[in-house]
Amino acid sequence: MSERHTKSTDWKKWGEFRPEWASEGIERINTELEKWSDKIQTRSHKFRKESQKRIEKGVAQIQTELRKLPAVKRAEALREELETRVQTGVEAGLDQVYTRLNLARLEEVKKLEKKIAALNKKLRAMEEQPTA
């Protein structure tokens, strides 16, 4: 037999013949290890949560400080200006498309629907009046 096989066999034999006091001691050690493992996991979880809060707070502070920098202020202004230009360009392009296709925009359709509803109401009222 190899040395490795002999050692594992010896260990199995020890489990079969170990005294009761040794089994109780091993059980107590295992119980203590489980308690320590639980404590470590709890502390680890608490540490992660606290670290995450500290990191988020630090990031928020950095963002606040960055927003105060002239370059960042300028970049934000340029972004807003670009958004406005793009929005204006898109709306102008849509107006051209609607005009060329001879289509009404949604706002115009809604206004016309309201006018038609008001005219229908007036027409029903006139129909209900006795003719003179």
> Is 123 within the bounds of a domain?
no
DSSP states of 39-95: HHHHHHHHHHHHHHHHHHHHHHHHHHHHHHSHHHHHHHHHHHHHHHHHHHHHHHHHH
Question: Per-residue pLDDT tens for 35-46?
Answer: 999 999 999 999
> Is 80 within the bounds of a domain?
no
> Is 21 within the bounds of a domain?
yes
Q: Which of 6-15, 56-65, 99-108, 120-129 has the lowest mean pLDDT?
A: 6-15
CA angle 101-106-111, nearest 5°? 115
Domain that holds residue 11: 1-63
Residue range 70-99: mean pLDDT, rounded = 91
> Is 95 within the bounds of a domain?
no
> Is 97 within the bounds of a domain?
no
> Is 110 within the bounds of a domain?
no
> Is 38 within the bounds of a domain?
yes
> Is 87 within the bounds of a domain?
no
- Would you say the pTM of this structure is higher than 0.75? no
Domain count, the chain: 1
Residues in the chain: 132
State the pLDDT confidence band at 1, using cuts at 50, 70 and 90: very low
